[in-house]
Structure 1
Amino acid sequence: MATSATGAAEGAQMGATMQDHTHELVRWPASPLLRGQTLGYRGFRFGVLGTRRRLMVPDGVVKVMVGFGDLVRVVDAVVPHHATHAASMVNPVRTRAAVGEHTGSLYGVTVLLTPIAAYRLFAVPLNEWGEQPLDPADLLGAEAARLAERLAECDGWESRFALLERIILTRLAFGPAVSPEVLWVWQRLRSDAGRVRVEQLASAVGWSRRHLERRFREQVGTTPKALAQVCRLQAALHRLDTGWSVARAAAETGYHDQPHFDRTFKGMMGCTPGQFRRYRAAADPSDSRDFLPDQVTSVLLQDPRGCASRYRLAKEKHLRRAPRPAGMLAARAPLPAVPQAAEPSSAHGGKVPDDDPGPTTTATRTERRAQTLPHR
């Protein structure tokens, strides 16, 4: 893997730097073979004294966490009616922020996936997921427990990431096809930061708005309009994080005025833009708060007001595991077993050059078809 050396160097440096504080965090890039599917991996081992709460921002990414330590508690930051307690979970594309809390050790790995890859990887329509974190066993069956065991038995982060790459490559090769129209609309929303009308997108791909929304929800997990709101929120957060005023960030990202932006922000985040900015300013500079370098994805909650207090005021008796989406296990198609062999080798001596397009799978054919759609 051409970028493995960079990932190894970064991971080794961070691990060595943070070991004395019982904190270890390793970031690892995805192989070129998974370009456009997997956004990267994170290995983590945190020993925490006291309770640690993190606000997780809507970012359009599916996160698969496989944990080997204590349980994590996750609750919606806006509508805190249900909580999930688990060491491993699959976090779907969210349109509202969530709060994660843990009090013991946190140890495991996280895979960052595009929703397109998640649809193909798990072979389950994403509109069945909802916004609650899911038990990996609901998506993978008994294989989820075996995966956790195999990852825990690996002798280091690099071998864990290599195992995950083999699993993902195998599943994607046999996963369901993604509509090139859906892929094109998803890419267009991201490239335009959500500032494009759904009617325009539907017309560009030759579908009705209703048909586009149905297919998009199936393969991305939300409607095009809802994903556009997430993209606009991310654009505004990026500007706020670089020192822009709230009014200027709102105007530049397409909101009618600041009150409109404030209402939308609080409806998605559970706090005001000013409160969120204070959380970011108060966070420990050494905290690796963002999963992706070009997005604002999380922040530790230090301020006892706002989002943190809304979370704590939720009564435990009202928090329960959300029911499994109807028909999920019935929809899960059997997939081939994950090979135990070493990473795929090639004529390049086991290394994949940067310009290698990878195997011609359903995904690559879909991407090529999507590139032929109009750019309006």
Structure 2
Amino acid sequence: MKHTSKLPNVGTTIFSIMSKLAHEEGALNLAQGFPGFGSDPKLHNLVSQAMAKGYNQYAPMPGIFRLREKITEKTNSLYGSEYAPGSDITITAGATQAIFTIVSTFIRPGDEVIVLKPAYDCYEPAVIVNGGKVVPIQLKAPSYKVDWSEVAHAITPKTKMFIINTPHNPTGTILEKSDMIALERILKNTDIILLSDEVYEHMVFDGKQHESVARYPGLRERSFITASFGKTFHTTGWKLGYTLAPKELMQEFQKVHQFNVFSVHHPSQHALSQYLENEKKYMQLSKFFEQKRDVFLEAIKGSRFTYTPSAGTYFQMLGYSAITDESDVNFAKKLTKQYKIAAIPTSVFNLHQEDYKMLRFCYAKDDDVLKRAGEILCAV
């Protein structure tokens, strides 16, 4: 059979490549971004209880009402928004499904989508599959700050969507109030949809707050927010998340969502609706991961790697230009094979694979693993 690929340049992801290599080499895997510790047994029990109670058939298409209600209550309380549980939220099969469905709902052939790079690897394929054109803006190491004048210059009459991610994967940076105000000003009087990937919203450090688009009326009215229970509650394998948007946008999203997955795991929704009753389960995450970050940074203090402490997520970027001028892909493979520690080379996420000699390490691991990683990196 003859066919033309819609994604001819997409192959195996760097996450799969590095995790496979880590497994083959018996290396510490600080590459792929999943927690190295278990989730709460109380949450597991709530899922079991929901199954025992018979919640094993299809859930309502947008998700069970009680879970939507708890999420909107949480969001409105944290950010001063006014999302309605009956119309402004859909429970999704993780944030990636939400992102793909949002793009599929609104992007037509020829539409332009602005993407800040380095970018998580699901954004651009979703645009390309739907016939859109990616307009990339490269953030420069080591600060990875957004040049808002460059963003404004990139907007054309064909611009349909702008994708942001805060806290940011892979760099561990965050957008601050000044950024959101600048963005609000740029998008004013346009029909541009803002897709805000906020899966690490509860992991912001050093006394700073998460600047959700939900805080800003001029952004909220045009935005989808995507979030992930997998990231928040250490259950990435459950693939459960949600998206928030004004009613008019959400109605369009649900038209596509219903033919994409229709609904997601029913008993887990009941479990999460109860688990969210205790706000400590998510409000203490920033402190938890800030301590993990600090354990990791203390462990690498004697190394030749350079860094700016991560401001959010559970990722830390390390610069290695004082060690070698090897490409980041080759150096990451060398670390895995020779030193038995795996990281993610970040050039693969950059425009034209620009190499800033930076590697991403995941510190969502037990402290003894982080200390052992520090010993290895200090020996490089």
> Which of structures 1 and 2 has the larger relative contact order (alpha carbons within 8 angstroms, sep 6+)?
2
Which bracket does the TM-score occupy, shorter chain normalised? Answer: under 0.3
For normalisation by structure 2, the TM-score amounts to: 0.24
- TM-score, with normalisation over the residues of structure 1? 0.24
